[in-house]
Amino acid sequence: MSDFEIKLTDQNFDEFISGADKPVLVDFYADWCGPCQMLSPVVSEIAETRSDITVAKVNVDENPLLCAKFGIVSIPMLAVIKNGEVTAQNVGFCDKAKIESML
C-alpha cells in the first residue's frame, strides 16, 4: 500500500465514502491473493498520478461486513464510488487502461 492509498474498514467505510468530495477507487484485496498482488502496483501507480480521485483499499479478510455489503465472492475486486453510488466495478486482474476507463 502506497502513501497515497487509504485503508478502509467495516468501521470507517460509510463515513469516509459519505464525506468523499471526489470519486473513490476501492480495491478489495487479500494478502494471500496472487492476482491481488499483481494488481496492487497498478492501483498504486494510479493513486500516485491521479489527483482527481481517491484510492482506498479494503482487506477482505479483516472486513467481512463490507464483503457482504458488496457481495464479494471473488477478488481482486475494484469498485468506483461516486456520490455514494457504485458507478463501475471489475472482478479479477485488469490493466491500467481498463481501470482508467472505469474512472
Number of other CB atoms surrounding residue 75 within 10 Å? 21
Whether 33 is catalytic:
yes
Where in the chain does DSSP place strands (E)? 5-7, 24-29, 54-59, 77-82, 85-91
Q: Extract the C-alpha cell encoding 41.
A: 502496483
Q: Given the residues 36, 55, 56, 77, select the one marked as catalytic.
A: 36
Q: Given the residues 30, 33, 53, 88, select the one marked as catalytic.
A: 33
Whether 67 is catalytic:
no
CB contact at 8 A, 35 and 28: no
Instruction: Give catalytic residue positions.
Output: 33, 36
